[in-house]
Amino acid sequence: MDFMKLILTRHGETVENKKGIRQGQLLDGQLTRLGIEQAKKLALRLKDEKVDAIYSSDLGRSFETAQMIAKYHPDKKFYVTKYLREIDLGSFAGKIIEKSPIDWKNVPKDIETWENMIKRSKRILEKAYKKYPYGCVIFVAHGGINKAIICSILNKPLSYIKKLKKEENTAISIFNIRKDNNHEAELIYCTKHLD
């Protein structure tokens, strides 16, 4: 294998997801019963992967999902990192999405920029690639940061983020990450394990 296999996924459904509440970094998020089932199905789907390491966001909803995956890979490295955190939504965190729309053309000052998200995504990709250039790693994160990661991998402009559809809970994307930046997408947002 002349590349690093990256399996990128999102946490299971949370109480806040179900209620339409923005979580960002302020809220850890509690998995619902369905979210726990989704995470278990995700873990089962990934149990036979020859994984070298699992990287999880340090926010509870992703960490709990990542731990379920790690049960099938107990001897593998498990990293918890703030680089995989969701976008910082500042004062918009904890608010109902429908009642508090964000004007993304004039982003409030207390909301993290997409440019910063792209920087974070590149940093964690570099860190993982440096350690596992020919290995298989799993990133367990969030919808927003995952869009930034996909944008970085595919070397797309920021505007591409808007073209990506909303990622379902525990959806899987798989990429081949190469030193020459000639990365390939094998799969984007697959949820067949939930059927």
The single-letter code of the amino acid at 161 is: I
What single-letter DSSP state applies at residue 22?
-
Burial of 115 (0-12, 13-18, 19+ CB in 10 A): exposed
Clarify whether 142 is annotated catalytic. yes
- Give the active site residue among 73, 142, 183, 193: 142
Active-site pick, 11, 73, 183, 193: 11
Q: DSSP assignment of 74-100, as one string?
A: TTSEEEEEGGGPPP--GGGTTSBTTTS
Q: Tokens at residue 14, please?
A: 């949370």
Q: Is 11 a catalytic residue?
A: yes
By DSSP bridging, strand 184-190 and strand 172-177 are: antiparallel
Q: Which residues, at least 6 apart from 99, have a Cβ–Cβ distance to it below 8 Å?
A: none
As annotated, the active-site residues are 11, 142
